Amino acid sequence: MGMTDFLKDLNTRQREAVTATEGRIRVVAGAGTGKTKALTCRYAYLVNVLGIDPANILCLTFTNKAAAEMRRRISAMVMSGDYNDFVCTIDGFCVKLLRRDIYRVGFPKNFRILDEEDSKDVAKACMDTLGIKRTEKTVKDFLKTIHETKALNDYIDTYMLPTSDRSEGMLSSPIGCYMSAQLKDYALDFDDIENFAKYLLDNFPEVRAYWQEQLNYIMVDEAQDCNSDNWEIIEKLAAKHHNLFIVGDPDQCIYEWRGAKPDRFVNFAADKNIVLDENYRSTPNVLDVANSIISKNFNRIPKELFTRKPEGVKVLHFHAKTEKEEARWIVDKIRELSAKGADFSDFAVLYRSSYLSHPIEQEFISAEIPYVVWGGIRFFERKEVKNAIAYLKVIADSSDEISLRRVLNVPSRGLGKQFLSRLEDLSHTSGKSMYDCLSAPEIAKSKGAAEFAGIISRGKELSKELGVSDLMDRVLDMSGLKKLYREDQDEDRLENIDELVRSMRFYEESHKGIEVSLSDYLQDIALYTNADCKKDSNVVRLLTIHQSKGLEFPYVFIIGLSEGIFPSMRTIRDYKKRGEEEERRLMYVAVTRAERVAFLTESEGYNQSTHMNKYPSRFISEIPRQMFVTEGHVGQELWERSRNMRHVIDEERFNEKYTRSGNGLNGKEAGTAAGSGPSDSFADERAQYESQFRIGDKVVHPSFGKGEIIATSKDMSAFTVRFESGAERRIRESFLKPEDLP
């Protein structure tokens, strides 16, 4: 395939990005501007036109789904059909680095990867050993402690190396116990994967030199979502050849809460900057609204998306009196458009927080509109799927004691805690693995133990002659799992394990021509995300805006657009101006999911989450009036209340800015402070008297001690306080005083 074949379908700026191969290049790629096309064409350009060996190209993405799509496109474009395994996620690359080099710190190259459920199992075992009571909360707190410890740079030397000097006291601590359990099984959790990769790059010059020499060209997709650890690894790898190509959009950076910051992308020292601003997804009317919203942010790289598509339908805003009316309106719109030929899968309902979906779900059920709520338990984290995979893990590696413990007695074989304890003791005293000890005379006399050992043994034989999907099919029958769920009449679990087998067949088909081992498959699925497991069907999608990132739909409803809900009061109060900008980026992402029409909806009423009345969001009032159409009456008074609610949420103290005038606020002073004078009725609603406290204030109670105000009564006379003990109490103002007073 010649150069012109790659360039002919690209616009001028895409072509510039594809052919800019040397140096540090930053591509600002707005929503729907064809960044994946540019990335894959650039890869093909490097290979087919410049003759670069694919083994010298690293292309990083953020999800396995994105990596798979990129590999699919590349394989159809490169001359020989040969492309390297270095089109992967950052975690996926780190695993490849560790498989090659982790032996340098005493780990075997076939170390195990613990997914979230495996980590919980290790935590629970440690808690039992340490005599810590196990509840859902205590397990979560235990793992949080481990995670926070691993955020420190020195934990690997201290706890995780075979040469680490672990004292008896250290082993009796939660951290020491957990990491010792990991080391015993040579197992890494998700925190460890990048940390160990960084450790090797930092401490072994030969490792760093090998990978720097190997990777002549590095490309990073969705670079705005990289956290500091991601950037550190990427910059280290690019330090020799300096050919670093990053693609992203700081306007779509919506993961500050997990370490991504738009600043890193905005301040990236580039030799060349390219902006992709021609949108191929949305209509001009949708883009006008999106551009208007995001233009209010300061921490960004200025750009304005445009499209050559026809104008389309104006963005539609609906104001409802109640949540139920809001939900019914959405149902009516879906029915109306469906009658004109739209499929249910053309619709998506997006929301800031999951609880907002409930009224919509109820109306969908009543109207018999098929829908699916995205989120919840991830496919590969469902109990029945975990059990099935655990059998494969033991078949692949019989020394995997975490997986063995999980399924030894699933389905029940009469091998309870006492048997497991005997097996563990024998393993410890003999120095053999638990699986090997199943054949010991004192253990093998148990019928259940012999049965389990026979299943694994037969599975090992079958794994040599069967593909992963056929092996799974056989194991589900041999183990009794399928029989268990069938006898329980558990259709959901049966459907899920059937889906597991189907997904394995799809995995095999997508790797045609490549020999896929059981170990390869298990490694890949350990890194899968929720989005990788979703199955398309003709249903309306209900999902959070965060989950919608990277998706597109003809018709998008953005619901719950009330001040305090979206934008989130908590985010703004926690992060001030940065929080507001993050929320605005989230709104921008939501709007740019729409191909044809974006619907903005909100309702009146009292919100139990914010403990405030609901008024239209600033994200609606910021849009120029001529850019959208409103259904439902929104009087001037309501917009005034909305503006003043914004003032409250942004943490300006009313008693510092306003004075009383009769039953309301003094209009002159209110207008000076807020930019527009609130109505008297708003003042009545706000407070019957002015309080000295606000949400977020630190207070002291004579009996309960110190705490933080987390909510207020409607008249501001009482406050919900979360005390240091964890208790939450509703307390009248007269019983509280500021923490800083004697």
Interval 552-601: pLDDT, tens: 999 999 999 999 999 998 888 888 888 999 999 999 999 999 999 999 99
- Dihedral angle sign, alpha carbons of residues 453, 455, 456, 458: positive
Active-site residue (options: 222, 249, 384, 563): 222
**At 371, phi and psi to the nearest 5?**
-150, 165
* Whether 442 is catalytic: no
Q: What is the pLDDT of residue 84?
A: 63
| Tens digits of residue pLDDT in 221-241 | 999 999 989 999 999 999 999
Q: What is the pLDDT of residue 725?
A: 79
| 3-state class (DSSP) for residue 732 | strand
541: which strand partners? 348, 372
Q: What is the pLDDT of residue 536?
A: 53
Distance between CA atoms of residues 6 and 13, nearest Å: 14
Q: What is the pLDDT of residue 168?
A: 63
Active-site residue (options: 593, 596, 643, 646): 593
* Whether 221 is catalytic: yes
* Buried/exposed 152-191: b ≥16 CB within 10 Å, e otherwise: eeebbebbbeeebeeeeebeebbbbbbbbbbbebbbbbbb
Active-site residue (options: 19, 36, 129, 529): 36
* Backbone angle region of 418, left / alpha / beta, with phi > 0 → left and psi within -120 to 50 → alpha: alpha
* Buried/exposed 711-725: b ≥16 CB within 10 Å, e otherwise: bbeeebebbbbebee
Active-site residue (options: 221, 225, 397, 581): 221
| 3-state class (DSSP) for residue 372 | strand
pTM: 0.72
Distance between CA atoms of residues 628 and 295, nearest Å: 17
* Whether 36 is catalytic: yes
Rounded (10°) angle between helices 205-214 and 228-237? 80
CB-based contact 561:619 (threshold 8 Å):
yes
| 3-state class (DSSP) for residue 704 | coil
Q: What is the pLDDT of residue 4?
A: 53
Distance between CA atoms of residues 44 and 107, nearest Å: 37
Give the residue ranges of the chain where pLDDT is below 70: 1-4, 79-84, 153, 166-169, 375-379, 381, 489-490, 492, 510, 513, 527-536, 608-609, 651-692, 703, 713-717, 734, 740-742
732: which strand partners? 718
Six-digit token string for 712: 């207020």
* Whether 191 is catalytic: no
The single-letter code of the amino acid at 505 is: R
Q: Is the peptide bond before 567 cis (omega within 30 degrees of 0)?
A: yes
Token pair 């394989």 in the structure block, residue: 75
